[in-house]
């Protein structure tokens, strides 16, 4: 499995909401690009809770200045430490560079 380490970008979904790009939410964006409507689970590989309410997580892959959107539960979208996700669960942000840098 091609796992990659990512970290949450704090405050990003407030500072750069999906509505800036014409989407209701970052989760809606992820579903649209991925062409998925059902069966979603938190993309953190080590998440103990697999099927609960999800949000569009706004994450950065460690070591590169590239931003991705991926479905995360509330706990994982608040995580301070890096965590692993499957690379295939990451969707490029519409402008995948870090707006802070």
Helix (H) or strand (E) holding 14: helix 12-15
Output phi, psi for 94, to 5 deg: -55, -30
User: Measured from the CB of residue 57, what is the shortest distance to Zn ion in angstroms?
Assistant: 9
Q: Are 98 and 58 in contact (CB under 8 A)?
A: no
Residues 25-54 that bind Zn ion (CB under 5 A): 42, 44, 47
User: Measured from the CB of residue 20, what is the shortest distance to Zn ion in angstroms?
Assistant: 25
Q: Which CB sits closer to Zn ion, 87 or 94?
A: 87
Q: Which CB sits closer to Zn ion, 13 or 44?
A: 44
Which residue bears the tokens 């993309």?
43
* Site for Zn ion contains 76 (CB under 5 A): yes
Q: Which CB sits closer to Zn ion, 8 or 61?
A: 8
Beta partners for residue 86, in sequence order: 3
Q: Are 81 and 2 in contact (CB under 8 A)?
A: no
User: Measured from the CB of residue 42, what is the shortest distance to Zn ion in angstroms?
Assistant: 3
- Which residues sit at the interface with Zn ion, rule CB under 5 A? 42, 44, 47, 73, 76
């Amino acid at each position: 499995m091609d796992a990659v380490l990512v970290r949450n970008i704090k405050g990003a979904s407030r500072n750069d909401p999906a509505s800036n790009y014409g989407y209701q939410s970052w989760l809606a964006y992820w579903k649209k690009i991925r062409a998925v409507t059902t069966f979603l689970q938190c993309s953190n590989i080590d998440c103990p809770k697999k099927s609960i309410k999800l949000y569009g997580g706004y994450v950065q892959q460690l070591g590169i200045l590239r931003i991705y959107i991926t479905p995360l539960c509330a706990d994982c979208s608040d995580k301070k430490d890096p965590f692993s996700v499957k690379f295939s669960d990451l969707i490029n942000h519409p402008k995948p560079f870090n707006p802070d840098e």
